[in-house]
Every structure is written in C-alpha cells, then in structure tokens.
Structure 1
C-alpha cells in the first residue's frame, strides 16, 4: 500500500466510525430534516444568497459525508448526486434521504475515482462544502476532476475553511499561534484525536487522521490552470463550527467567530468558478 492509499484508508476508518455519531447528533439535525420539508443545513443556508436559483440544475456534491448539505441542495431545486468514500456515511445519507423522500443518488467512491462512477461533463453544478479539501493531498488533481465533471457553462461552488484558519494551532486557547503548514506539503499532517466535532457520548477507536492544507493561491491557480473562470471569491469572518476552542463565540446561522476581534483572522471563504461554454 503506497503512502497516499494508506492515508485514505486511515481517514476512511475514522469517518466510518464517526458517521453514526454525527447522524445522531443535534448538530446535523436529522429530526429537523424529517419534520420540516423546508429545513436546510446551516452550511447551505449561509450561502443561499450566493447560490442563487439552482432549480433544475444537475449537481454533484463531492465528499458529501452524511448528506445533509446534499439534501438541502435538492430542496432548493437541484437534481443532486452525492459522492463519498465512506460506506458508513453514505448509509446514513441514504437513510435520511429515504426518511425525507429526497430524490438524491449517493455514490460510494474515493474522489480521485469520481470519473469512473460519474459522467464526464455531466453536471451543471459541482458543490464542495466545509472541511473537504483538507483530506486531499493534491489540489491540482482535485481541480482537474472538478473541471472534467462540469459541463461547459457549469460552475463550481466551494465554501471552505480558510487555509489561514487551518494553519492556526487549535491546542493553544489564549492566542493565535501558527502551528501548521499554510501551503500544500508532500507529507500529511498526522493528527490523533479521540473526539469529534459534534456533541456525542460515543467512544472511538480509529482516532488518527492524515490531512493537508492548501493555500489560497494554490487553490485558485489550480482552477485557473484547468481553464475555469473565477466569478466570485468572498472571505468570511465566521465558520460553522468552533474551530478554535476557548477563543470563539457563536453568532448568526450557528456560525462561530473569533471573540472580540474577528477581523484578525479570515475564517472561511466562498469561491465560485465557471467552465467556459
């Protein structure tokens, strides 16, 4: 097993184990999705003004996890497919889709094999949400896959944690300390954590993850190299989870920002790019 395949296996075990706990947590709000046909995930609701009208668009959500954002996009009118490498995550996504009557397809695949299971130039919208790019070792390869999935005139919609935020050491709780790479590195950041980012009493065994940061210039340049045209780039002073414990406060839309001086740090960003028609 090569190094990257080993990293994916390590990460898949981590996500497989945590998927049921995420689905049961109040943060992902499965019960709200079932009870309220108009309910949207916090991540999608935050970006509705930037998404615009997506009625009738054929969309794919890459690295969709347990499907709450995918189903939210479906509720906004898109014909959605979700793709993820975690069988356990997709089991929860399919369970939620069945409970809500959502017409969403979920496909199990590593992102790097997406073109083996999804149609090339088959999508009007490629959506990637918070906390996805950090699991990919090569941002240029990701950009090539996005470009290949988009039809001419189709667009990428990406909201992500800011690479400057990912570089901050969240183990330091009283000041901002850069402790991790900002730029993409050949070797992964190896992390061990027996918790997860939602409220849960579950105990976990698979606690190691391998991740990579990617600088903004690297991400944008990778998309430009594929011929995509950047149409929007907005940096935000909030992010939808408590990324820096002890230093953040919760604000609107269940977003979190640096307490007192959020202007010190770009927390997340929304990027849109279009494949020329």
Structure 2
C-alpha cells in the first residue's frame, strides 16, 4: 500500500463513525422512512432515470447512504470502499433498513480483483470521490473493466475549477491550487472532518489530487467509453466556499453574488462501447 493510500485510509477509518452519527448523513431518516433518499441521489434523479433491475456498483461508497438510495430505486447494488470502518457502518445501515447490499473492501484500482469484470450495468460514483485518487486514467480503466458493453457510468462530482480555489479566501474567487492532475499530491494536515462533531481526528494528514475535466473525459474515451451527457451545475451540497455562499431549501449551496461565474459540480454520463 502506498503512503498516500495508507494515510487516507487511516483518516477515513476515523471519519466513518463520526459521519454515521452525524445529522448531515441522516442515517436515522433512512431507517425511519423506507422512501428516504440521500440528497445527492435525489438531486440527480431527473438525469439518473429508471435504474430498476440494473446491476450496479458504487465505487468509493463510504458509509453507503448513496448506495442504499440507489438500491431503493430498484438497482441491485454492490458498494466498494477501501475503509473497513466505513463498510462496517454501511453494512449496519443496510441491515437496519432491510435492504440487501453487497459491500466489498478494496482499493479502487484493485476492484476487478474482488468484483467480476464486465458484469455491471451501472457504475456510480458520488460527490467528493475523485480527489482521493492519484490517477484518473487508472480510474477510467477500472470503470471500463467493470462495465458490461452498453453499461453506463454515472457520476456527480465537485468541479475541478472549484477544487483549484482557495476556500479560505472569503472575499474573492482565488485560483491558487492545481487544476490539472499532478504526480505529487496536495498534502493537508487537519484534525477536522466536514460534519459537525466535537471529536478531533488523530490521523490528520491526507493526500489529494485534482483532475481537469478534459483529463477525465479523455481518460474515459481512451478506455472505451463514449460521453452521453455532461451538465455543469451552479450548486453543491455543502458550504464549499465559506462566506461566499447561500443555501437553498434543498440543502444546495450557491454563490451569493453572480453564481454564473463558477461551475461548482458536474454530472457526467458515459456508456461503454460494444466493441
């Protein structure tokens, strides 16, 4: 295991129980209401369409709220993550909800060592996932290897232009971080996570990478997928730029002033070629 993966895994193992207990992930709502869906999945329902009966895999599934939501929409879901602590929370939630979901522990690039190749109708990736991967080409190859011919990739993700901004700058959009993928990671040292908690993390160092939108599209094309949809959004489901954003009734945040200046997220769809 690389140093980056080991550091990130230790960090996410600590985050998992804090996230499962948080109001932001709303696990109690999933248990109390069999129709409840995650905000992320609900946002993209118009683009996601009917997935009933599809065999799907959710890569980097974390504690499984999006995975569970997709299963509630009728897909036969598998979740994959490198954090055993996150998977323990995901399995417990699925069991409490009475929804059969297979959860598998693996680093993403080794997914085809634990999952069947060319077996899935749908590969899904939720928001805030790609920044933890050093190579977008290796990610695209893995997606292609998992999909059946004609199978679909569906991803909503933070926009790489957003990731290039200094989030601590409260009065301007200040581009200070890499937009394009670089071999060296961005190294962060922070004892906080993004949910409300009084607990400080002990595994504080993490490594992240940005990937330009062109790099993502080019990698998918190179590995046999055709782009069928790309929508850039002016909203994101957290306060990504504190001091510059306002939330709406659905929990999505937008720039207070001139939101048309910056894409915050995007939804990308691609289909694996038959040949």
TM-score under structure 1 normalisation?
Answer: 0.98
Report how far residue 92 of structure 1 moved: 0.5
Report how far residue 252 of structure 1 moved: 3.8
Residue by residue over 1:174-207, the C-alpha shift from the partner in whole angstroms, topping out at 9 and shown as x without a partner, is 1110111000001000011111111111221111
Distance 2:167 2:14 in 1: 23
Aligned partner of 1:246 in structure 2 is 243
Report how far residue 227 of structure 1 moved: 1.7
Residue 11 in 1 paired to residue 8 in 2? yes
Distance 1:21 1:93 in 2: 13
Aligned partner of 2:48 in structure 1 is 51
Aligned partner of 1:131 in structure 2 is 128
Aligned partner of 1:226 in structure 2 is 223
Aligned partner of 2:172 in structure 1 is 175
Distance 2:174 2:211 in 1: 18
Residue 184 in 1 paired to residue 181 in 2? yes
Distance 1:99 1:247 in 2: 39
Aligned partner of 2:79 in structure 1 is 82
Distance 1:252 1:133 in 2: 27
Aligned partner of 1:197 in structure 2 is 194
Distance 1:74 1:160 in 2: 20
Aligned partner of 1:61 in structure 2 is 58
Aligned partner of 1:109 in structure 2 is 106
Distance 2:192 2:254 in 1: 21
Distance 1:262 1:95 in 2: 39
Aligned partner of 1:166 in structure 2 is 163
Distance 1:190 1:212 in 2: 9
SS in 2 for 1:253: coil
SS in 2 for 1:254: coil
Report how far residue 264 of structure 1 moved: 1.0
The equivalent position to 2:137 in structure 1, one of 136, 140, 143, is 140
The equivalent position to 1:272 in structure 2, one of 254, 264, 269, is 269
Q: Which moved more, 1:255-264 or 1:116-125?
A: 255-264
SS in 1 for 2:128: coil
Report how far residue 245 of structure 1 moved: 1.1
Report how far residue 253 of structure 1 moved: 2.2
Gaps of 5+ in 1: none
SS in 1 for 2:194: coil
The alignment of Structure 1 onto Structure 2 pairs a total of residues equal to 274
Distance 2:168 2:257 in 1: 19
| RMSD over aligned Cα atoms | 0.8
Distance 1:232 1:253 in 2: 23
SS in 2 for 1:260: coil
Distance 2:124 2:94 in 1: 18
Residue by residue over 1:13-71, the C-alpha shift from the partner in whole angstroms, topping out at 9 and shown as x without a partner, is 11000111100001100000000000000000000110000000000000000000000
Report how far residue 260 of structure 1 moved: 2.1
Q: Which moved more, 1:46-55 or 1:194-203?
A: 194-203
Residue 217 in 1 paired to residue 217 in 2? no
